[in-house]
């Protein structure tokens, strides 16, 4: 008899727990950060999340920033990030090796075709941050940059 009571309490707790997890997952909306590590450079445009480069909210003040590198540009072009946001940067290349550096931060990533690189950075200070390519990638290398506005 007592076992049944305990069993019911156990099941009740489990149901409650799953409901809470379900609700919070639903409230946060999106999927957890992508855990993709390899990717055919030919398929970047058609593979999630790289088919939609940009900033996506994945939690409370937590974002995924998807960047595609291609000679000689980073996509998307203008990125706006709220101050204090924890950002999971995820990047790949469609052609050759690039380097993604966010000036004034410790973000410095190798961007190799066929691979997905990721790193988490929290933008504590508002301002304008320059993303530059720091790996020679061809004639337009010097022009390869984009900007992040943290507000
Ligand atoms: Cu891309 Cu240098």
Q: For position 119, which CATH number holds? A: 2.60.40.420
* Contacting residues for 27 by C-beta, under 8 A, at least 6 apart: none
- Ligand 1 centroid–CA 71 distance in Å is 6
- State pLDDT tens for residues 83-114: 999 999 999 999 999 999 999 999 999 999 99
Q: Is 136 in the pocket of ligand 1 (CB under 6 A)?
A: yes
Beta bridge partners of 29: none
- Ligand 1 centroid–CA 68 distance in Å is 12
Nearest-CA residue for ligand 1 atom 1 is: 98
- Domain of residue 5, residue span: 1-30
Integer Cα distance of 38 and 34 in angstroms: 11
Q: What ipTM score was computed for the predicted complex, to two decimals?
A: 0.99
Q: Does 19 lie in the same domain as 83?
A: no
pLDDT, residue 26, reads 59
Integer Cα distance of 17 and 39 in angstroms: 36
Q: Does 61 lie in the same domain as 26?
A: no
> How many domains are there within the chain?
2
DSSP assigned state of 93? E
Q: Is 64 in the pocket of ligand 1 (CB under 6 A)?
A: no
Domain contains 76: yes
pLDDT, residue 15, reads 83
DSSP symbols for 57-73: EEETTEEEEEEEEETTE
């Amino acid at each position: 008899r007592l076992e049944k009571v305990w069993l019911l309490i156990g099941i009740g707790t489990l149901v409650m727990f799953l409901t809470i997890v379900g609700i919070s997952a639903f409230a946060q909306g999106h999927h957890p950060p992508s855990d993709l590590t390899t990717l055919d450079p030919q398929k970047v445009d058609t593979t999630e999340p790289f088919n939609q480069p940009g900033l996506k909210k994945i939690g409370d003040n937590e974002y995924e920033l998807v960047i595609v590198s291609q000679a000689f540009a980073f996509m998307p072009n203008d990125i706006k990030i709220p101050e204090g946001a924890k950002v999971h940067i995820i990047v790949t290349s469609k052609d050759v090796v690039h380097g993604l550096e966010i000036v004034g931060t410790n973000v410095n990533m190798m961007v190799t075709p066929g691979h997905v690189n990721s790193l988490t950075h929290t933008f504590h200070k508002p301002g304008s941050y320059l993303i530059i390519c720091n790996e020679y990638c061809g004639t337009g290398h010097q022009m390869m940059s984009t900007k992040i506005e943290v507000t």
